[in-house]
Amino acid sequence: MQIIEYNSQYDEQIKDLLVELQNYLIDIDDWHTQVMLPEYREENFQMDMRKVNNQEGKIFLAIENALIVGLIMGIVEEKDEIDKLTNDCAKTGSVIELIVKNDIRGSGIGKTLLEQMEKYFKNINCKRINIEVFGPNKRGLNFYEKNDYIVRDMIVSKQI
């Protein structure tokens, strides 16, 4: 396996991985609020790419036998007016996507991709990294905790 920087020749495979992740989130959502509209594949990819292009972002791909087996996308967070009033506003990286193909999760690819993104963020002087995790995604949360991430913010929800 090799880690490379983004190359547009892999766009269709990236879209496939985004769909695979959304299907996983749909499967683990006990409230059944996660959906995937027909336009998801293309529009979510385009939204992610805009963020990467406009916010000092980077994409790393894990390639094996000319196929993507994992990817990570990271951006630098933009600070809003509340942030400026309430925190130190240190430059903060944000992982917006980390996906490893279902059949090879647990093989170390996610850890390798995460370490690569951490190096990138450190090189551009980020002081922190944030990653949003869907609450029911216990496997994802455990992965991040094993890699020294801690829960700093939470959203609590109630169905009514």
Confidence of residue 80 (pLDDT cuts 50, 70, 90): confident
Q: Give the domain ranges of the chain.
A: 2-146
The encoded tokens of residue 133 equal 């995790």
Residue 146 has pLDDT above 80, yes or no: yes
Question: Percent of the chain having pLDDT more than 90?
Answer: 88
Q: Give me the pLDDT at residue 88, please.
A: 82
Residue 79 has pLDDT above 90, yes or no: no
Assign a CATH topology to domain 2-146. Answer: Aminopeptidase (3.40.630)
Contact 74, 121 (CB under 8 A): yes
Contact 45, 14 (CB under 8 A): yes
Residue with tokens 């390639």: 63
Q: Give me the pLDDT at residue 154, please.
A: 87
Q: pLDDT (tens digit, 9 = 90+) per residue, 96-139?
A: 999 999 999 999 999 999 999 999 999 999 999 999 999 999 99
Residue 81 has pLDDT above 90, yes or no: no
Mean pLDDT of 83-101: 89
